[in-house]
């Protein structure tokens, strides 16, 4: 038994640090996903391009609007921000959910 304890401690330590890293990589991955899916062609973080900036979207909406935003991305959106419309985007529902949660969270960076 005496030999097992240090090993067990090491395993627990490794598991704990893996978990931490995973959290960090999720944050980075969402931004990468946004890039891969071509959103920056029309959306900048802070400036209005063809579409509103991600910070402006975050300012306007709350967690109760999550479904609407997911729908807008998957099915397209028009008439909410001006006379430009967004065509339906090619991504899975899970990807849209991740991106919408990321956008809604940007509100915490404001103030």
Between CA 68 and CA 12 the distance in angstroms is 41
Residue 30 lies near ligand HEC (rule: CB under 6 A): no
Residue 79 lies near ligand HEC (rule: CB under 6 A): yes
Residue 107 lies near ligand HEC (rule: CB under 6 A): no
Closest separation in Å from C-beta 104 to ligand HEC: 9
Residue 78 lies near ligand HEC (rule: CB under 6 A): yes
**Residue whose C-alpha is closest to residue 73's, from 85, 56, 59, 58:** 85
Select the span of 4-12, 14-22, 23-31, 74-82 touching ligand HEC (CB under 6 A): 74-82
Residue 58 lies near ligand HEC (rule: CB under 6 A): no
State the CB neighbour count (10 A cutoff) for residue 90. Answer: 9
Residue 85 lies near ligand HEC (rule: CB under 6 A): yes
Write the CA distances from 65 to 7, 11, 60, 72, 78, integer angstroms.
48, 42, 10, 11, 16
Residue 78's region, left for phi above 0, alpha for psi from -120 to 50, else beta, is: beta
Which residues of this protein are in contact with ligand HEC, per CB under 6 A? 37-39, 41-43, 50-52, 57, 68-69, 72-73, 77-82, 84-86, 89, 91, 99, 103
């Amino acid at each position: 038994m005496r030999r097992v304890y240090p090993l067990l401690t090491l395993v627990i330590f490794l598991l704990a640090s893996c978990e931490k890293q995973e959290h960090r990589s999720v944050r980075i991955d969402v931004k990468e996903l946004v890039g891969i899916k071509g959103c920056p062609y029309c959306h900048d973080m802070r400036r209005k391009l063809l579409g509103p900036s991600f910070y402006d979207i975050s300012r306007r909406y709350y967690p109760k609007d999550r479904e609407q935003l997911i729908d807008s991305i998957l099915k397209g959106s028009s008439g909410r921000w001006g006379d430009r419309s967004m065509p339906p985007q090619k991504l899975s529902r899970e990807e849209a959910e991740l991106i919408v949660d990321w956008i809604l969270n940007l509100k915490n960076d404001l103030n």
